Amino acid sequence: MSHELGRRGFLRRTGAGVAAIGSSPIWDWAGERQGAPTTARREDSRWTSVPTREHYGDTEEKLEVPPSWDLRVHHMEGAKAPVLTSEQIRQRIETPIGTKRLAEIASGKRTAIVTFDDLTRATPTAEIVPHILSELKLGGIRDDGILFLASYGSHRPMVHEEAAHKLGLECVGRYPWINHNIFENLVELGRTSRGNLIKVNRHFVQADVRVTISGVKSHVTAGYGGGAKAILPGVAWIESINYFHKTIGGLSGNENKTVGPCKIFKNECRLDMEEAARMARADFSVQVVYNGYRKVVGVHAGDVVEAHHSACRQANRLHRTEETRNADVVIVNAYPQNLQANIHLGWARSGLRDGGTAVLIMQHPMGLQSWHYLDERWDYDPRPYYETAHTSRWTPKQAGQLIVYSAYVQARDKVHFPPDAIYTRTWADTLAVIRRAHRDSARVALYPYAGIQHPPADLDG
């Protein structure tokens, strides 16, 4: 880890402050004060700010806007939700939902495994880990019996720096962590009622106590992240993952109307995950609900299904956001999920007028997610690479132009956008492109943390 990244991470974890770009941050990380409104508001200032670079400084970037713009900043309903203190987090973990306390589960056991998600997820895992370790030790499990397992499904393996960002420097300095392997080192557990043959990580199955830590935000297939998703796809076999995405989820062309964002209770993909988690005997699961700045506003610990349902109810209330319709410009800031920035363009698809301008802010040193095994499988599309590049799956079709603003974009990232997309590296250049199309008079909608926000939706689908 570089000195600069280590310094920023240390400052953020100790509450000493956060780096800002262009000005002081509008968010006080050291305290627990939230100043954002709960609904869209008209901005009269020539400046507004957005958070960027999750896990890599979590900085604020100031954006100059013409005062003549009718700028409406869309904050989610839970923008003012109180941030939990460390003591409040501890209390929620010690009073689980639907199962025994973790210390009681660990009593008399020798080994424990704890899963954690990768940097494509905004989960502030490091704030949860110390309390999990305290519970395991209270139950009698020694340090040398605790292992952390990266649970990222069909994403790529993690490296040391990324694990340190997720777990915290103290944790990775004291406890070993390993990557999951979706091809090998697996144990077969049988088939779900939907015919999915389940194999999961051998180390997970062999541990005496199995714990998962996940964040909860809307997900295009699973309804919400977290819960049983830490098992399937988290630590599962590639073919188990392929089956629930393709056969159950409808990627093979057979649409499954039960599947979709925010759908939990009747979602067949989610139900298949829950069966798999039961088969894998997940003992204790922690669901973290976080706000637009990756601060913990909810912890739901206990049973992998019941605790997850509780977390989804809270997330559904806090993350829902008023939508703009027929805007001239829709600005989508992909924080805190920049590594999958293109999927957040849904805000522009629903809110942009015909011929309008969609702007995607994608500020993250790692660019877009570098690998996803389901995307790389040739049986999904047997055509040569050069015939499949430049997908428009997420792009608003009514847009007159799509601007991708990023200081980090590479050629590999560009294949996720249409060939006529415009790439800018500074906000001044971005603003110039917008002004050429709309002059200084425009109705503009800004979603400051689009990676977590979602429209009002029913958990039942």
If phi over 0 gives left and psi between -120 and 50 gives alpha, with beta otherwise, what is residue 424? beta
**Domains along the chain with CATH numbers:** 3-77+321-447 (3.90.226), 86-318 (3.40.50.11440)
Q: What are the pLDDT digits (tens) for 170-202?
A: 999 999 999 999 999 999 999 999 999 999 999
Closest to 137 in 3D by CA, of 163, 164, 109? 109
Give me the pLDDT at residue 439, please: 85
pLDDT tops 90 at residue 312: yes
Q: What is the pLDDT of residue 380?
A: 61
- The model's confidence at residue 249, banded by pLDDT at 50, 70 and 90, is confident
User: What's the rounded mean pLDDT across residues 39-61?
Assistant: 83
Alpha-carbon distance of 58 to 51, in angstroms, equals 7
What pLDDT shows up at residue 422? 97
Question: What pLDDT, in 10s, does the model give residues 24-37?
Answer: 222 222 222 233 44
What are the angstrom distances between the C-alpha of 21 and each of 28, 51, 110? 15, 10, 48
Q: Using an 8 Å Cβ cutoff, are 338 and 53 in contact?
A: yes
DSSP code per residue over 234-267: TTB-HHHHHIIIIIITSTTS---TT-STT--TT-
The answer to whether the pTM exceeds 0.75 is yes
Phi and psi angles of residue 126, each rounded to the nearest 5 degrees, phi first? -60, -25
Highest mean pLDDT (candidates 3-7, 14-18, 212-216)? 212-216
- Cα–Cα distance for residue pair 384/120, rounded to 1 Å: 27
Element (H, E) at 41: strand 41-43
**Percent residues over pLDDT 90 in the chain:** 77
Contact 340, 368 (CB under 8 A): yes
Residue 288 identity: V
Distance of CA 144 to the CA centre of its chain: 30
Residue 303: pLDDT over 90: yes
The mean per-residue pLDDT over the stretch 251-273 comes to 88
**CA 393/CA 331 separation, integer angstroms:** 18
pLDDT at residue number 42: 60
What is the helix (H) or strand (E) element at residue 351, kind and residue range? Answer: helix 346-351
Compute the C-alpha angle 415/417/418, nearest 5°: 105
